[in-house]
A and B are shown apart, each in its own frame.
Chain A
């Protein structure tokens, strides 16, 4: 079956513009995660969705970052008024989420470059 897909694969934007990054999880996976991979900060957790529960937004670095998950499937990560320090690879992962320690399956990531 299809894995986790993300679009676009690369995004170049100008400082101050808004961007939307999309994630399509594996069908049937109830848990969805966003991570950010940057040279300065390494791999860091951003946000987590599990079914109909309130998302865990504890990793979002500022209020310019937001995410939503529609219909328990596709998720969109939005960054408003982008800054150069937002440049990173944004990774999405999904898992069955029905028990502790479920394997997370990662997408190929979106490389965001803010000029």
Chain B
């Protein structure tokens, strides 16, 4: 079974600075997807970034980028130029895609990291 571990329950960063959130996972699959989701106090889960395991290039989305180390099974999220609106719970998630072995695209989540951006 796949597991996702986020070892940082809480983090704090000053506005405009850079912060990195850690995520490790365990799987025997060779192809899969990894995601970072953001959940602000409004409870709405929002996709931040997605990485396909067979792509070596790290995904980027504006101020958000990942460091994907497949051999180490590590998938960290870097937030540059942090903004107050980035304050939220961040979840790392693993997906074994439905094309493989009857999997159903379900997300397996880590326990989350609560990020506070300080003014």
Residue ranges of A at the interface with B (Cβ–Cβ < 8 Å) = 31, 33, 35, 42-45, 48, 50, 56, 59, 89, 91, 93, 95, 97, 99-109, 111
Contact = CB atoms under 8 A, between A and B. Distances in A.
Contacts of A50: 98, 104-105
Contacts of B110: 42
B105 A108 contact: no
Contacts of B98: 50, 97, 99-100
Given A45-B107, A56-B106, A100-B105, A106 B99 contact: no
Given A45-B107, A99-B98, A109-B44, 4 more contacts: A48-B105, A56-B106, A99-B99, A100-B100
A114 to B, nearest CB: 19
B97 A100 contact: yes
Nearest to A95: B105
Contacts of B43: 89, 108-109, 111
Most B Cβ at <10 Å: residue of A43, A59, A89, A91 = A43
Interface stretch (B17-25, B45-53, B61-69, B76-84): B45-53
Contacts of A99: 97-99
B99 A100 contact: yes
B108 interface: yes
B105 A103 contact: no
A25 to B, nearest CB: 14
A44 B109 CA distance: 7
Contacts of A100: 33, 95, 97-100, 105
A86 to B, nearest CB: 18
A91 B46 CA distance: 12
B26 to A, nearest CB: 16
Contacts of A105: 47
Nearest to B99: A100
B111 A42 contact: yes
A85 to B, nearest CB: 18
A101 B97 contact: yes
Contacts of B95: 100-101
A45 B4 CA distance: 14
Most B Cβ at <10 Å: residue of A99, A106, A109 = A106
B90 interface: no
